[in-house]
Amino acid sequence: MTFTESVKSCLSGYAKFEGRASRSEYWWFGVFNFLIDIVAICIDISASTIYEKSELVSTLVALAFLLPNLAVCVRRLHDLNKSGWWVLLFFIPIIGPIVLIIWFVMRGTVGTNNFGEDPIPESNLNNHQTTGE
């Protein structure tokens, strides 16, 4: 999945908690989030004064992307054949996020699992295995 396909998929399915998300969909959307956050922080810095710090834009961006981020995390866990409830590990300091990052880097279940079809078509499987998808 390309960068633009990932962004379109995650934003159009912003509240889609069913199905599966490939590693590329998850990580490209993460890159998009990072870039948007950088822009929001720059806007906040330029809107700040010596006496008052502005965080309005970055706060609005964080709120706007909360649901799409949660949805793609749940779909990524589904790709590993894990319940979406595992996303709550984020609330366990240090250990929880590390476990989730390790899981998010792992290759998903090949073929159909409890949460649906493989997001990587079988015809592309050999290509993705050689490229690291």
The sign of the dihedral angle between the CA atoms of 115, 116, 120, 123 is positive
Which residue matches tokens 């590693």? Answer: 23
Taking the whole predicted model, whether its pTM rises above 0.85 is answered as no
Number of domains making up the chain:
1
Answer whether 43's CB lies under 8 Å from 57's CB.
yes
d(CA 5, CA 7): 6
Tell me which residue range forms the domain holding 119. 3-131
Structure tokens given for 112:
């159909």
Residue-wise pLDDT for 39-93, tens only, equals 999 999 988 877 788 889 999 999 999 999 999 999 999 999 999 999 999 999 9
Residue-wise pLDDT for 114-127, tens only, equals 888 888 876 565 55
Among candidate residues 14, 4, 8, the one with its CA nearest the CA of residue 64: 14
The 3-state DSSP class for residue 116 equals strand
d(CA 46, CA 40): 10
